[in-house]
Structure 1
Amino acid sequence: MRRVHDMELDHEFTVPVPVDRAWSVLLDVERVALCMPGATLDSVDGEEYAGRLKVKVGAMTVTYRGTARIVAADESARTVTIEAAAKEARGPGTASATVQARLHDGDGGTTRVTVHTKLNVTGRPAQFGRNILSEVGAKLITRFAKALAQEIESPAAAPRSSRSPLRGSRRSRTRPPRSPSRPPRRPPPKPRPSRLWSALSP
Protein backbone atom coordinates (compact mmCIF):
# COMPACT_ATOMS: atom_id res chain seq x y z
CA MET A 1 0.00 0.00 0.00
CA ARG A 2 1.38 3.38 -0.99
CA ARG A 3 1.70 5.77 1.92
CA VAL A 4 0.87 9.40 1.33
CA HIS A 5 1.28 12.24 3.81
CA ASP A 6 -0.12 15.72 3.38
CA MET A 7 0.90 18.64 5.57
CA GLU A 8 0.08 22.33 5.78
CA LEU A 9 2.44 24.77 7.50
CA ASP A 10 2.18 28.49 8.22
CA HIS A 11 4.94 30.99 8.99
CA GLU A 12 5.06 34.73 9.43
CA PHE A 13 7.89 37.25 9.69
CA THR A 14 8.53 40.97 9.26
CA VAL A 15 11.36 42.57 7.25
CA PRO A 16 12.50 46.23 7.47
CA VAL A 17 11.99 46.98 3.77
CA PRO A 18 9.01 48.42 1.85
CA VAL A 19 6.52 46.15 0.10
CA ASP A 20 7.73 47.05 -3.42
CA ARG A 21 11.25 45.85 -2.67
CA ALA A 22 10.05 42.63 -1.06
CA TRP A 23 7.74 42.01 -4.01
CA SER A 24 10.60 42.09 -6.53
CA VAL A 25 12.40 39.36 -4.56
CA LEU A 26 9.35 37.08 -4.48
CA LEU A 27 9.12 37.25 -8.28
CA ASP A 28 12.68 35.89 -8.59
CA VAL A 29 12.23 32.11 -8.35
CA GLU A 30 15.99 31.54 -8.35
CA ARG A 31 16.48 33.62 -5.21
CA VAL A 32 13.45 32.11 -3.49
CA ALA A 33 14.33 28.51 -4.39
CA LEU A 34 17.88 28.83 -3.09
CA CYS A 35 16.49 29.87 0.30
CA MET A 36 15.45 26.24 0.81
CA PRO A 37 18.10 24.40 2.88
CA GLY A 38 19.80 21.63 0.90
CA ALA A 39 18.67 23.01 -2.47
CA THR A 40 20.87 23.04 -5.57
CA LEU A 41 19.87 24.90 -8.73
CA ASP A 42 20.94 22.99 -11.85
CA SER A 43 19.36 24.79 -14.80
CA VAL A 44 16.85 27.41 -15.89
CA ASP A 45 14.57 26.86 -18.89
CA GLY A 46 12.33 29.88 -19.40
CA GLU A 47 10.13 30.13 -16.31
CA GLU A 48 10.99 26.62 -15.08
CA TYR A 49 13.82 25.99 -12.64
CA ALA A 50 15.31 22.52 -12.31
CA GLY A 51 17.30 21.39 -9.31
CA ARG A 52 17.82 18.99 -6.43
CA LEU A 53 16.85 18.96 -2.79
CA LYS A 54 18.56 16.84 -0.14
CA VAL A 55 16.46 16.10 2.95
CA LYS A 56 17.30 14.11 6.04
CA VAL A 57 14.45 12.19 7.67
CA GLY A 58 15.56 10.25 10.74
CA ALA A 59 18.66 8.29 9.74
CA MET A 60 17.69 8.44 6.07
CA THR A 61 18.92 11.04 3.58
CA VAL A 62 16.82 11.43 0.45
CA THR A 63 17.69 13.44 -2.65
CA TYR A 64 14.87 14.73 -4.82
CA ARG A 65 15.17 15.95 -8.40
CA GLY A 66 12.48 18.22 -9.77
CA THR A 67 11.32 21.61 -10.97
CA ALA A 68 9.76 24.77 -9.56
CA ARG A 69 7.91 27.66 -11.18
CA ILE A 70 5.59 30.55 -10.41
CA VAL A 71 1.99 29.58 -11.15
CA ALA A 72 0.33 32.79 -9.96
CA ALA A 73 1.45 36.33 -9.21
CA ASP A 74 -1.18 38.86 -8.14
CA GLU A 75 0.51 42.24 -7.81
CA SER A 76 -2.61 43.97 -6.49
CA ALA A 77 -2.94 41.39 -3.71
CA ARG A 78 0.85 41.10 -3.33
CA THR A 79 0.58 37.31 -3.48
CA VAL A 80 2.92 34.85 -5.23
CA THR A 81 2.29 31.11 -5.55
CA ILE A 82 5.15 28.74 -6.40
CA GLU A 83 4.70 25.06 -7.17
CA ALA A 84 7.44 22.43 -6.99
CA ALA A 85 7.34 18.76 -7.92
CA ALA A 86 10.12 16.20 -7.56
CA LYS A 87 10.97 12.50 -7.54
CA GLU A 88 13.48 10.57 -5.48
CA ALA A 89 16.82 10.24 -7.26
CA ARG A 90 17.00 6.64 -6.03
CA GLY A 91 13.54 5.33 -5.39
CA PRO A 92 9.90 5.59 -6.45
CA GLY A 93 8.94 8.27 -3.91
CA THR A 94 7.69 11.74 -4.82
CA ALA A 95 7.35 15.10 -3.12
CA SER A 96 5.40 18.18 -4.09
CA ALA A 97 4.90 21.56 -2.52
CA THR A 98 2.80 24.64 -3.06
CA VAL A 99 4.18 27.76 -1.41
CA GLN A 100 2.03 30.87 -1.22
CA ALA A 101 3.68 34.05 0.07
CA ARG A 102 1.69 37.19 0.75
CA LEU A 103 3.01 40.65 1.59
CA HIS A 104 1.32 43.08 3.95
CA ASP A 105 2.16 46.74 4.58
CA GLY A 106 3.70 47.21 8.01
CA ASP A 107 4.46 50.22 10.17
CA GLY A 108 7.36 52.51 9.31
CA GLY A 109 8.07 51.13 5.83
CA THR A 110 8.26 47.48 6.93
CA THR A 111 6.67 44.44 5.30
CA ARG A 112 4.94 41.55 7.01
CA VAL A 113 5.28 38.28 5.08
CA THR A 114 2.97 35.30 5.56
CA VAL A 115 3.96 31.95 4.02
CA HIS A 116 1.52 29.07 3.65
CA THR A 117 3.02 25.77 2.49
CA LYS A 118 1.29 22.57 1.43
CA LEU A 119 3.51 19.47 1.34
CA ASN A 120 2.80 16.04 -0.10
CA VAL A 121 5.26 13.18 0.44
CA THR A 122 5.19 9.57 -0.76
CA GLY A 123 7.70 6.73 -0.74
CA ARG A 124 10.36 5.88 1.82
CA PRO A 125 10.11 9.04 3.97
CA ALA A 126 6.38 8.44 4.39
CA GLN A 127 7.08 5.32 6.47
CA PHE A 128 8.20 7.48 9.39
CA GLY A 129 4.67 8.63 10.05
CA ARG A 130 2.93 11.97 10.14
CA ASN A 131 4.46 13.21 13.41
CA ILE A 132 8.08 12.83 12.32
CA LEU A 133 7.39 14.15 8.82
CA SER A 134 5.55 17.14 10.25
CA GLU A 135 8.52 17.88 12.54
CA VAL A 136 11.03 17.60 9.69
CA GLY A 137 8.83 19.66 7.39
CA ALA A 138 8.32 22.34 10.03
CA LYS A 139 12.07 22.67 10.65
CA LEU A 140 12.75 22.83 6.91
CA ILE A 141 10.14 25.51 6.26
CA THR A 142 11.23 27.48 9.34
CA ARG A 143 14.78 27.64 7.99
CA PHE A 144 13.40 28.50 4.56
CA ALA A 145 11.36 31.38 5.98
CA LYS A 146 14.39 32.68 7.88
CA ALA A 147 16.59 32.55 4.76
CA LEU A 148 13.85 34.22 2.73
CA ALA A 149 13.66 37.03 5.26
CA GLN A 150 17.43 37.55 4.99
CA GLU A 151 17.22 37.48 1.19
CA ILE A 152 14.48 40.10 1.12
CA GLU A 153 16.56 42.34 3.40
CA SER A 154 19.70 41.92 1.28
CA PRO A 155 20.72 44.53 -1.34
CA ALA A 156 19.40 44.32 -4.88
CA ALA A 157 20.38 41.13 -6.67
CA ALA A 158 23.51 41.07 -8.78
CA PRO A 159 23.37 39.72 -12.36
CA ARG A 160 22.44 36.04 -12.38
CA SER A 161 25.87 34.91 -13.59
CA SER A 162 27.66 36.65 -10.71
CA ARG A 163 25.42 35.80 -7.77
CA SER A 164 26.90 33.76 -4.99
CA PRO A 165 24.94 30.86 -3.45
CA LEU A 166 23.12 31.41 -0.18
CA ARG A 167 23.99 29.79 3.09
CA GLY A 168 22.49 26.36 3.30
CA SER A 169 22.02 26.17 -0.46
CA ARG A 170 24.25 25.25 -3.32
CA ARG A 171 24.42 26.08 -6.97
CA SER A 172 25.93 23.53 -9.33
CA ARG A 173 29.19 24.61 -10.88
CA THR A 174 31.44 23.24 -13.59
CA ARG A 175 35.10 23.10 -12.73
CA PRO A 176 37.42 24.58 -15.37
CA PRO A 177 39.70 22.06 -17.11
CA ARG A 178 43.12 21.72 -15.59
CA SER A 179 46.00 23.05 -17.59
CA PRO A 180 48.46 20.41 -18.83
CA SER A 181 51.36 19.86 -16.48
CA ARG A 182 54.57 21.55 -17.44
CA PRO A 183 57.89 19.65 -17.53
CA PRO A 184 60.16 20.48 -14.61
CA ARG A 185 62.58 23.29 -15.24
CA ARG A 186 66.25 22.40 -15.56
CA PRO A 187 68.56 24.11 -13.09
CA PRO A 188 70.69 26.86 -14.67
CA PRO A 189 74.28 25.82 -15.58
CA LYS A 190 76.97 26.60 -13.08
CA PRO A 191 79.16 29.59 -14.09
CA ARG A 192 82.56 28.68 -15.46
CA PRO A 193 85.71 30.73 -14.68
CA SER A 194 86.81 32.95 -17.54
CA ARG A 195 90.04 32.19 -19.49
CA LEU A 196 91.68 35.38 -18.21
CA TRP A 197 91.08 34.33 -14.58
CA SER A 198 92.51 30.85 -15.37
CA ALA A 199 95.65 32.40 -16.83
CA LEU A 200 96.23 34.67 -13.81
CA SER A 201 95.62 31.90 -11.28
CA PRO A 202 98.82 30.30 -9.81
Structure 2
Amino acid sequence: MEQEVFVPVPAERLRAALADPALVARAVPGLQQDVGTEPVAGRLKVRVGGHTITYRGAVRVSPREDGAYAVEGDATEVRGSGVVKPLLTLWLREAEAGTTLRFEGTASADGRIAELPPEAVEATVTRLLNRFATNLATEATEATEAVDVDAVDVDEVDDVDDVDEPPTPGTVFEAEVSPAGLEDLAGPGEPPAEAAHARRTMIGRSAEEVDHAPPRGRYAPVPAPQTVVPNSTLRWAAPAAALVVASAIVVGRALRRRG
Protein backbone atom coordinates (compact mmCIF):
# COMPACT_ATOMS: atom_id res chain seq x y z
CA MET A 1 0.00 0.00 0.00
CA GLU A 2 1.28 3.47 -0.92
CA GLN A 3 -0.29 6.88 -0.37
CA GLU A 4 1.01 10.47 -0.70
CA VAL A 5 -0.51 13.58 0.83
CA PHE A 6 0.70 17.18 0.40
CA VAL A 7 0.23 19.71 3.21
CA PRO A 8 1.29 23.40 3.17
CA VAL A 9 3.38 23.07 6.34
CA PRO A 10 7.19 22.93 6.68
CA ALA A 11 8.69 19.52 7.41
CA GLU A 12 10.30 20.65 10.68
CA ARG A 13 6.86 21.53 12.09
CA LEU A 14 5.51 18.10 11.17
CA ARG A 15 8.51 16.41 12.80
CA ALA A 16 7.88 18.36 16.00
CA ALA A 17 4.23 17.26 15.95
CA LEU A 18 5.13 13.59 15.36
CA ALA A 19 7.41 13.73 18.41
CA ASP A 20 4.43 14.73 20.60
CA PRO A 21 2.09 11.74 21.26
CA ALA A 22 -0.72 14.07 22.33
CA LEU A 23 -0.68 15.83 18.93
CA VAL A 24 -0.56 12.49 17.12
CA ALA A 25 -3.59 11.30 19.09
CA ARG A 26 -5.57 14.41 18.13
CA ALA A 27 -4.60 13.89 14.49
CA VAL A 28 -6.11 10.39 14.29
CA PRO A 29 -9.61 11.01 12.83
CA GLY A 30 -12.43 9.86 15.08
CA LEU A 31 -10.22 8.53 17.89
CA GLN A 32 -11.91 8.49 21.31
CA GLN A 33 -9.12 8.29 23.85
CA ASP A 34 -9.52 6.03 26.87
CA VAL A 35 -8.91 7.60 30.27
CA GLY A 36 -5.74 6.41 31.99
CA THR A 37 -4.12 4.90 28.87
CA GLU A 38 -1.20 5.95 26.71
CA PRO A 39 -1.87 9.03 24.53
CA VAL A 40 -2.46 7.27 21.19
CA ALA A 41 -4.93 4.68 22.43
CA GLY A 42 -8.68 4.33 22.53
CA ARG A 43 -11.71 3.49 20.40
CA LEU A 44 -11.97 4.13 16.67
CA LYS A 45 -15.01 3.69 14.44
CA VAL A 46 -14.21 2.71 10.86
CA ARG A 47 -16.80 3.00 8.12
CA VAL A 48 -16.22 0.61 5.22
CA GLY A 49 -18.84 0.95 2.49
CA GLY A 50 -22.16 0.68 4.30
CA HIS A 51 -20.68 -1.04 7.38
CA THR A 52 -19.31 0.46 10.60
CA ILE A 53 -16.78 -1.45 12.70
CA THR A 54 -15.52 -0.21 16.09
CA TYR A 55 -11.99 -1.09 17.17
CA ARG A 56 -10.11 -0.61 20.41
CA GLY A 57 -6.33 -0.41 20.20
CA ALA A 58 -3.19 1.75 20.10
CA VAL A 59 -0.79 3.28 17.61
CA ARG A 60 2.94 3.95 18.13
CA VAL A 61 4.97 6.42 16.05
CA SER A 62 8.75 6.25 16.42
CA PRO A 63 11.57 7.89 14.40
CA ARG A 64 14.03 5.78 12.42
CA GLU A 65 17.71 6.34 11.71
CA ASP A 66 17.06 7.03 8.03
CA GLY A 67 14.80 9.98 8.83
CA ALA A 68 11.52 8.14 8.33
CA TYR A 69 8.96 7.17 10.97
CA ALA A 70 7.67 3.71 11.86
CA VAL A 71 3.91 3.57 12.44
CA GLU A 72 2.79 0.40 14.21
CA GLY A 73 -0.61 -0.45 15.61
CA ASP A 74 -2.91 -3.19 16.75
CA ALA A 75 -6.64 -3.07 17.23
CA THR A 76 -9.37 -5.54 18.15
CA GLU A 77 -13.06 -5.43 17.30
CA VAL A 78 -15.21 -4.25 20.21
CA ARG A 79 -18.01 -6.61 19.11
CA GLY A 80 -16.14 -9.53 17.67
CA SER A 81 -12.75 -11.21 17.56
CA GLY A 82 -11.31 -9.58 14.44
CA VAL A 83 -7.81 -8.03 14.70
CA VAL A 84 -6.09 -5.43 12.53
CA LYS A 85 -2.30 -4.78 12.69
CA PRO A 86 -0.96 -2.02 10.43
CA LEU A 87 2.79 -1.67 9.85
CA LEU A 88 3.63 1.51 7.92
CA THR A 89 6.60 3.71 7.14
CA LEU A 90 6.07 7.46 6.96
CA TRP A 91 8.41 9.65 4.91
CA LEU A 92 8.51 13.43 4.98
CA ARG A 93 9.73 15.02 1.76
CA GLU A 94 10.12 18.76 1.54
CA ALA A 95 8.32 20.34 -1.40
CA GLU A 96 7.64 23.83 -2.67
CA ALA A 97 5.49 25.69 -0.11
CA GLY A 98 5.00 22.60 2.03
CA THR A 99 5.74 18.93 2.63
CA THR A 100 4.69 15.65 1.06
CA LEU A 101 3.87 12.79 3.42
CA ARG A 102 4.36 9.35 1.89
CA PHE A 103 2.93 6.23 3.53
CA GLU A 104 4.24 2.82 2.62
CA GLY A 105 3.50 -0.54 4.22
CA THR A 106 1.10 -3.37 4.76
CA ALA A 107 -1.58 -4.44 7.21
CA SER A 108 -2.87 -7.78 8.33
CA ALA A 109 -6.57 -8.10 9.15
CA ASP A 110 -9.17 -10.72 9.93
CA GLY A 111 -12.73 -10.74 11.16
CA ARG A 112 -15.50 -8.62 9.68
CA ILE A 113 -13.24 -6.33 7.66
CA ALA A 114 -11.71 -9.31 5.86
CA GLU A 115 -15.18 -10.23 4.55
CA LEU A 116 -15.74 -6.84 2.88
CA PRO A 117 -14.78 -5.92 -0.72
CA PRO A 118 -11.04 -5.04 -1.03
CA GLU A 119 -11.71 -1.85 -3.00
CA ALA A 120 -13.99 -0.57 -0.20
CA VAL A 121 -11.33 -1.35 2.40
CA GLU A 122 -8.65 0.43 0.33
CA ALA A 123 -10.85 3.52 -0.08
CA THR A 124 -11.39 3.65 3.71
CA VAL A 125 -7.64 3.36 4.42
CA THR A 126 -6.88 6.11 1.88
CA ARG A 127 -9.47 8.40 3.44
CA LEU A 128 -8.06 7.81 6.95
CA LEU A 129 -4.47 8.54 5.86
CA ASN A 130 -5.49 11.75 4.06
CA ARG A 131 -7.40 13.02 7.08
CA PHE A 132 -4.55 12.04 9.42
CA ALA A 133 -2.05 14.03 7.36
CA THR A 134 -4.36 17.08 7.23
CA ASN A 135 -5.07 16.93 10.96
CA LEU A 136 -1.36 16.55 11.74
CA ALA A 137 -0.57 19.67 9.72
CA THR A 138 -3.29 21.59 11.57
CA GLU A 139 -2.02 20.47 14.98
CA ALA A 140 1.55 21.38 14.01
CA THR A 141 0.51 24.87 12.87
CA GLU A 142 -1.57 25.57 15.98
CA ALA A 143 1.22 24.38 18.27
CA THR A 144 3.73 26.65 16.51
CA GLU A 145 1.40 29.66 16.69
CA ALA A 146 0.89 29.06 20.41
CA VAL A 147 4.65 29.06 20.95
CA ASP A 148 5.01 32.27 18.93
CA VAL A 149 2.32 33.98 20.99
CA ASP A 150 4.06 32.99 24.22
CA ALA A 151 7.34 34.34 22.88
CA VAL A 152 5.72 37.66 21.99
CA ASP A 153 4.24 37.93 25.47
CA VAL A 154 7.65 37.36 27.02
CA ASP A 155 9.24 40.01 24.78
CA GLU A 156 6.58 42.54 25.73
CA VAL A 157 7.21 41.90 29.41
CA ASP A 158 10.95 42.39 28.87
CA ASP A 159 10.29 45.67 27.07
CA VAL A 160 8.20 46.89 29.98
CA ASP A 161 10.97 45.99 32.41
CA ASP A 162 13.48 47.97 30.37
CA VAL A 163 11.54 51.24 30.64
CA ASP A 164 13.31 53.74 32.89
CA GLU A 165 11.25 54.61 35.90
CA PRO A 166 10.75 58.34 36.56
CA PRO A 167 12.48 59.68 39.63
CA THR A 168 10.32 59.63 42.73
CA PRO A 169 9.43 63.20 43.71
CA GLY A 170 10.39 64.23 47.22
CA THR A 171 7.74 64.56 49.85
CA VAL A 172 6.65 67.78 51.47
CA PHE A 173 8.50 66.92 54.66
CA GLU A 174 11.77 66.45 52.75
CA ALA A 175 11.70 69.93 51.18
CA GLU A 176 14.00 72.53 52.67
CA VAL A 177 12.35 75.73 53.91
CA SER A 178 14.36 78.84 54.69
CA PRO A 179 13.85 80.71 57.98
CA ALA A 180 12.42 83.60 56.01
CA GLY A 181 9.80 81.29 54.60
CA LEU A 182 8.88 80.11 58.09
CA GLU A 183 8.47 83.71 59.20
CA ASP A 184 6.11 84.36 56.32
CA LEU A 185 4.05 81.34 57.27
CA ALA A 186 3.93 82.31 60.94
CA GLY A 187 2.78 85.86 60.13
CA PRO A 188 3.94 89.20 61.64
CA GLY A 189 5.15 89.29 65.23
CA GLU A 190 2.67 91.98 66.39
CA PRO A 191 -1.08 91.24 66.37
CA PRO A 192 -3.32 93.46 64.21
CA ALA A 193 -4.81 96.58 65.75
CA GLU A 194 -8.35 95.17 65.81
CA ALA A 195 -7.22 92.02 67.58
CA ALA A 196 -5.30 94.08 70.17
CA HIS A 197 -8.34 96.28 70.75
CA ALA A 198 -10.56 93.24 71.26
CA ARG A 199 -8.08 91.78 73.71
CA ARG A 200 -7.95 95.04 75.69
CA THR A 201 -11.72 95.19 75.74
CA MET A 202 -11.95 91.71 77.22
CA ILE A 203 -9.54 92.49 80.10
CA GLY A 204 -11.29 92.80 83.42
CA ARG A 205 -14.40 90.88 82.37
CA SER A 206 -15.30 87.51 83.78
CA ALA A 207 -14.57 84.30 81.91
CA GLU A 208 -18.29 83.65 81.43
CA GLU A 209 -18.82 87.09 79.93
CA VAL A 210 -15.84 86.65 77.66
CA ASP A 211 -17.05 83.28 76.47
CA HIS A 212 -20.55 84.56 75.73
CA ALA A 213 -19.65 88.03 74.57
CA PRO A 214 -20.34 88.52 70.86
CA PRO A 215 -17.34 89.28 68.73
CA ARG A 216 -16.72 92.83 67.68
CA GLY A 217 -15.10 94.54 64.77
CA ARG A 218 -15.26 93.09 61.30
CA TYR A 219 -15.67 89.60 62.75
CA ALA A 220 -18.94 90.54 64.52
CA PRO A 221 -22.03 88.81 63.11
CA VAL A 222 -24.20 90.85 60.78
CA PRO A 223 -27.65 91.43 62.31
CA ALA A 224 -30.51 89.95 60.40
CA PRO A 225 -32.62 92.51 58.54
CA GLN A 226 -35.88 93.43 60.25
CA THR A 227 -38.93 92.18 58.56
CA VAL A 228 -41.55 94.83 57.83
CA VAL A 229 -45.07 93.52 57.95
CA PRO A 230 -47.28 95.42 55.50
CA ASN A 231 -50.42 94.84 57.62
CA SER A 232 -48.97 96.45 60.81
CA THR A 233 -50.58 99.84 59.98
CA LEU A 234 -53.95 98.22 59.48
CA ARG A 235 -53.58 96.44 62.79
CA TRP A 236 -53.47 99.83 64.65
CA ALA A 237 -55.92 101.65 62.38
CA ALA A 238 -58.82 99.26 63.03
CA PRO A 239 -59.21 100.06 66.78
CA ALA A 240 -58.95 103.81 66.11
CA ALA A 241 -61.73 103.64 63.54
CA ALA A 242 -63.89 101.71 65.98
CA LEU A 243 -63.33 104.38 68.63
CA VAL A 244 -64.38 107.18 66.24
CA VAL A 245 -67.57 105.37 65.30
CA ALA A 246 -68.48 104.77 68.97
CA SER A 247 -67.93 108.47 69.80
CA ALA A 248 -70.17 109.54 66.92
CA ILE A 249 -72.96 107.32 68.19
CA VAL A 250 -72.74 108.72 71.73
CA VAL A 251 -72.81 112.34 70.49
CA GLY A 252 -75.80 111.60 68.28
CA ARG A 253 -77.83 110.18 71.19
CA ALA A 254 -77.01 113.17 73.42
CA LEU A 255 -78.27 115.64 70.81
CA ARG A 256 -81.51 113.74 70.40
CA ARG A 257 -82.18 113.88 74.13
CA ARG A 258 -81.74 117.66 74.22
CA GLY A 259 -84.09 118.14 71.41
* TM-score normalised by the chain length of structure 1: 0.61
Please point out which of 40, 50, 56 is paired with 1:65.
56
Question: Partners in 2 of 1:148 and 1:21 — Cα distance?
Answer: 10
- Distance in 1 separating the partners of 2:96 and 2:115: 45
- Decide whether the 8 Å contact of 1:10 with 1:117 is kept in 2: no
1:6-32 CA-partner distances (Å, limit 9, x unpaired): xx2312314333x33221111123322
The equivalent of 2:16 in structure 1 is 24
- Structure-1 residue corresponding to 2:127: 139
**Which of 42, 56, 63 is matched with 1:51 structurally?**
42
Q: What is the aligned partner in structure 2 of residue 196 from structure 1?
A: none
Structure with bigger RCO (C-alpha 8 Å, 6+ apart): 1
Flag structure 2 segments of 5+ consecutive residues without an equivalent: 147-259
Partner amino acid, structure 2, of 1:98: L
Equivalences for 1:150-189 in 2 at 5 Å? 150-156=138-144
Deviations 1:35-92 (A, max 9, x none): 222211214656x74211111123321110112223x413x64321121101000101
Query: Given residue 149 of structure 1, which amino acid in structure 2 is its aligned partner?
Result: A
2:77 to 76, 88, 107: 88
1:11 pairs with 2:10:
no
Change (3 A) 1:149 1:115: farther
Mind listing any 5+ residue stretches in structure 1 that lack a counterpart? 1-7, 159-202
Secondary structure at 2:81 match in 1: coil
- CA contact 1:43–1:49 (8 Å) conserved in 2: no
Report the secondary structure of 2:117's partner residue. helix
Q: Which has the higher strand share?
A: 1
Partner of 2:127, secondary structure, is helix
- Give the paired residue count: 147
The answer on whether the counterparts of 2:58 and 2:73 sit within 8 Å (CA) in structure 1 is yes
Matched-pair contact (CA < 8 Å) for 1:35–1:144: yes
Distance 2:54 2:70 in 1: 24
What are the Cα deviations for residues 111-149 of structure 1, in whole angstroms up to 9, with x where unaligned?
333233533321112211212211222222222222223
Residue identity in the other structure for 2:94: D
Which residue is 1:176 aligned to? none
Corresponding letter in the other structure for 2:131 = R
Q: Decide which structure has greater helix share.
A: 2
The answer to whether 1:78 aligns with 2:67 is: yes
* Bigger Rg over Cα: 2
Q: Which residue is equivalent to 1:39?
A: 31
